[in-house]
Structure formats: structure tokens, C-alpha cells
Structure 1
Amino acid sequence: MDRLRALAVFRQVVELGSFAKAARHLRLSPAAVSKNIGELEAHLAVRLFNRTTRRMSLTEAGRLYHERVVRILDDLEEADSALGPLQQRPSGLLRVSAPMTTTLFALSRAIPEFLERYPEITLDLRMDDRRVDVVEEGFDIALRGSDRLENSSLIARKLLTLRHAVCCAPVYLEQSGRPIHPQDLRSHNCVQFTLSDHADEWSFHNNGETVNVPVNGRYKVGSSLAVRDALRAGFGISLIPRLYVEEDLATGRLVSVLDDWSPVETTLYAVYPSNRHVQAKLRAFLDFAIETFGRLEEGGKPATPPQNC
């Protein structure tokens, strides 16, 4: 048994959730993957997976072993890379997935600076608000906004906190009245951003009190810019990141309500597979993203995106 290969195969089976996916990722036959796992289980004298014809899951021993194996393999890769990090220049194709609206507001105008800084990197930036499968779809890194980050095998680095506001056009308040308490939103036409973790229920905090409000309305849409357009037109009220409406609030085109209440915050993370954390091109982009979003969180103004996206 090639023990190092067997450990790498075991890790991929766990992180991709199937023998078939691991075989495709490693460019091995399914039989070779099964053979490696079988030999590893025989060597350890424990069963690592519970397997049926329909599903697969880790045993308790498999879960504990996976935690150790990940650290060992990452340490080995880092040791290899440590032999010459100063001579290693970021280069090659870098595939990045990022949410469209956040990228347009806060990152896209800085991308030429990144490419000038690292002339040997070719960037494939896919702007897509859906939650991609980083490993399965072959991305090096993804930017992902979430109220809560799910447990996974991915490494996550915080980039930015997106603070929200409940806002609408002045004409909407004239027609529908101003909500005084979060529960008042039950009777309002709420424009819902369907890709949010809080699309159907908005949470608010005030002096230790937490209020969760189910919301509904006539318009549900998977774009924050489309939500903003609806608000500008006076069609409803919504919970939206302040980053996207800062100028509208400053000019009075939109007004915020329930200012005594703190709505949910969304954190923007950079997530990437743990076995890629030492790649020079990935490190270069991660450092650049931390720098760019850090300037924004410190009070820098976002770039103005195109009006029609």
C-alpha cells in the first residue's frame, strides 16, 4: 500500500462526499479509489466509512482520523513549499467565484491593479450570486456572503462585514406609513432578496431584545441591485446592505426606518480548499482581497457600479 496516496484518496472521498467524485478529481478509476480505502481500513483495522448502495457516511473513527489526516497532509505540503517561498512567484490561471453585486461595488475596479502587481497570473473571475461548489467546480477560491458559515472542509477568511438597513422611497412611506417596530413589517410589501440566508425572516436587535419577523411581499428577486431598483421606484420596503444604497440614503432618494433597531449583518468570507492554502497565486489574491475590503471597512468609498447589470 502506498500509504501517502491512500491518505490523499481518503481525504478526497471525505471532502467530496463520494467515491466517484474523488475518482474524477484524482483522475483514478473508482476501483482504484475503493482499493486504496480498503487497504487503509485493513491497515488500521477499523472501518472508516459506513457504506450502502445509496449513501455513504463517516464512522466515528473515520471522522477522528480525517481531522488528523488533514493536518498531516497540509503540513507536508507546507513543508514542500517552504523550501523556496521567496523564489516562488505567483503565476498561472487563478479561478475565482464572487457574488456579482459585491464585486461590482467593491472589487472589480481594483482588479487591474491586482493584475499589474502580478503579471504572471491569468484571472478567470466568475461573478455569480449562487453558492458554487468550490472543489467540484474547480475554483481556487470563492467569495461568499453569509449570516452563518456552514461547517465544511473549506478554510474561511473574513473579508468584510456588510451592515444592513431597512429602507424605502419617501413616496412609499407616504402611501403605506412608517413602521415603528419590526413587527410592523408584517403588514408591509417587503421586497425579498431570495439568495439571502434571511430571505423570509428578518432579525433585529435592540437593548438585548431580539425580534424575528416573517416577511412577505409581491416581489422576490435574486439580485440586490434589482431590490434597490424596486425601492427607488417606490415599490415596497426591504432589508439591504448599506453598501449598495449609501448614496441613495445620502441624497434622500431612499430613507431608512427602524434606525433604533440593529438588523442582521452579513459577513463576506473568502473560502478555499485547505490543500491549496500555500499556492502563491492563491495567497496573492487572498492578501489583495483582504487589503481591498479592509480599505472599504475603514471608511473608503466603494466604486460606483454600472446602473444596468
Structure 2
Amino acid sequence: MDKFESLRAFVQVVESGGFAAAARQMDLSRSAVNKLVMHLEDDLKVQLLHRTTRKVTPTATGIAFYDRCVAILADLKEAELAVSQMQQEPKGRLRINAPMSFGTLHLAPALTDFLLQYPDLQIELTLSDRFIDPIEEGFDVTLRIAQPPEAASLIVHKLVVAHRVVCAAPSYFEKYGIPTTPTDLKDHSCLHYGHFATSNQWTLTSADGHHTVTVQGVLCSNNGEVLREAALKGLGIALLPTFLVGGDLQQGTLRQVLMDYPPRQISAYVMYPVNRHLSTKVQLLTEFLKARLGDRPYWDDAV
């Protein structure tokens, strides 16, 4: 029995969470996938998977072996690509997941230019602000604007710093005054991201350290464009990334405050499973986005 096929079956079962899902991914029968994994366990004389009627999970040994398998299969893929020289002509489908606002405003125009450069590619773009598991949901590339996860099964590249600012409409400040310290925000209507109960703390920094403030307001949302629209209407102060509000700051429809207390930095990251790290399509897209955004992204020119 092919050892590499057994390794592929084991990796696919772990990533899919079960034999049936792995069989669909590999276009094999469930029994065939089970035999491949059992052959691997017999050969190694260890149990790699816990099997129940409801789910399949790796044992402690299986988790460690999974990481090694992923690296081995990635090296094999590199050798195959080198022989076939497929990297010269990237083809096929590329599944991408990205945040909603960044995706519509900045990733979408970038991807259209990318497709013009590589016309044999097909891109499937899914936009969602939900934090997803790239491996479980089968994405080749995931973009996130947050702290990247620490996972041995993912490769993470920083693309660019996503600067954020505290801002509101001039009409709001005319009516309610301008905060001069982070503590002043407690007396203002603040439009914040996420949920009222869990995401209403803003952390700003200064020479004397971090300042964490619990804010309150009339609106919270899991989408930055919603908060931007509310800020433009004078409903409150928002903490938003410049890729959303750079143009508003330049035009004066939003005004930045608390410049001496910048928010903690976050960055845009591209992530992909280890077993995609030798994919020509993934590498080309990563380098394209790095070049497109640069050290100082174009949207910050407006700030």
C-alpha cells in the first residue's frame, strides 16, 4: 500500500474531522480511507486517531505525527511542482476568505488586477467578518486584520500595518465637545465593534503607558462600514482603521482626535495552510498583495 497515500489519508481525516468528509475530499470510499489510515497505524504500531460513532480526533501522538506529515507532503508537492514546472503557468481555482469591508474596498480591485495578470486562474472570494478555520473550511488563502493565530498548521505573512484612529464628525464635537484624554471617552457616545458586553474596551497608548477605557454608545456592530456611517451622521466617536476612513479624514467629514494616544497597532495578515505553502498560486498572490500595499498603504496617504 502506498505510504504517501496513507499519509495523505491521515492528514485529510484530521483536517476534515472524519472519514466520510475525508473520503469526499479524496474522491475515495469511506472504507478505502479507513484502510489507508489503519495500515499506517499498523505500520507505526501506534494509535493515531480516537474513533467514536460521532467524531474522529487525533491522539496526542497523532497530533505530533500530523505536523510531520504535513511537512513531508509539502516537500513532496514541491518536488512534483519542480518536475512539472507548473509554477510557470499558474492555473486552477484559488479559494480566498477575507473581511467584508477590507474585501470590498481594497481586495476586490486588487484581485481583478491579479486576474488580468494571470488569466488562467479562477478565484472564489468569500467575504465574512467571522473568524474561520482556514483548514476546516477549505480556503487556500485567508486575509485577517487582527492578531494572527499561532498554529503549526498555518503559515502567516504580515502584509501591512492597519492604522486605526479615534474620530467623529465635526458636528458631534461641536455639540458634545472634544475629548482630550482617554478617560474623557467615558462621557461620550462611542460607536464600537462587536458586542455590547464583550467588545466595548478601547486601549490607547501614550508615553506613560496603556490606557484602557470602557466605552458606551448607541450602536455596536461587527462591521466597520456600519460604524463609519454612524460616525458620519454625528452619532458618536468611533475607533476605525484608516483603510475605511482615510478619505473622510482628508475631506474633513470626519475629524481625528486623541492623536497623542494612538490605538494599539493591528496588521493585515495573509494566512494559508502549510500544505499550500508551495502552491504557485498562493505564493504569487502573497507577493502581489505585498507589492500592492507596500510599506505605507495608499489609503494612509489621505491621513
- Both proteins in one fold, TM over 0.5: yes
Match of 2:134 in 1: 134
Residues 140-219 of structure 1: matches in 2 within 5 Å? 140-151=140-151, 153-194=153-194, 199-207=199-207, 209-219=209-219
Q: 1:33, 1:201 → 2: CA distance?
A: 48
Superposition deviation, residue 246 in structure 1: 1.6
Q: Unaligned regions of 5+ residues in structure 1, if any?
A: 305-309
Match of 2:279 in 1: 279
Q: 1:253, 1:30 → 2: CA distance?
A: 59
Query: TM-score, with normalisation over the residues of structure 1?
Result: 0.84
1:22-55: per-residue Cα shift (whole Å, max 9, x none)? 2332233333333332222222122223344455
The answer to whether the aligner puts 1:229 opposite 2:259 as a matched pair is no
Moved more, 248-257 or 160-169: 248-257
Residues 34-49 of structure 1: matches in 2 within 5 Å? 34-49=34-49
Match of 1:2 in 2: 2
**Are 1:144 and 1:268, in contact at CA under 8 Å, matched by a contact in 2?**
yes
Relative to 1, partners in 2 of residues 1:27 and 1:303: Cα closer, same or farther, differing over 3 Å? farther
Superposition deviation, residue 77 in structure 1: 0.8
Relative to 1, partners in 2 of residues 1:233 and 1:77: Cα closer, same or farther, differing over 3 Å? same
Superposition deviation, residue 84 in structure 1: 4.1
Superposition deviation, residue 228 in structure 1: 0.9
What is the number of residues matched between the two proteins? 300
Query: TM-score, with normalisation over the residues of structure 2?
Result: 0.86
Relative to 1, partners in 2 of residues 1:208 and 1:89: Cα closer, same or farther, differing over 3 Å? farther
Identity of aligned residues (%): 38
Relative to 1, partners in 2 of residues 1:52 and 1:109: Cα closer, same or farther, differing over 3 Å? closer
**Are 2:190 and 2:216, in contact at CA under 8 Å, matched by a contact in 1?**
yes
**Are 2:87 and 2:280, in contact at CA under 8 Å, matched by a contact in 1?**
no
SS at match of 2:173: helix
Residues 25-104 of structure 1: matches in 2 within 5 Å? 25-54=25-54, 56-85=56-85, 88-104=88-104
Q: 1:40, 1:141 → 2: CA distance?
A: 30
Q: 1:213, 1:33 → 2: CA distance?
A: 53
1:91-136: per-residue Cα shift (whole Å, max 9, x none)? 2233322223213333333334322221222333333333344344
**Are 1:9 and 1:36, in contact at CA under 8 Å, matched by a contact in 2?**
yes
**Are 2:246 and 2:300, in contact at CA under 8 Å, matched by a contact in 1?**
no
Q: 1:109, 1:246 → 2: CA distance?
A: 17
SS at match of 2:239: strand
Q: Unaligned regions of 5+ residues in structure 2, if any?
A: none
1:130-187: per-residue Cα shift (whole Å, max 9, x none)? 3344344443322222234253623222212101111111222233333333233333
Match of 1:300 in 2: 298
SS at match of 1:149: coil
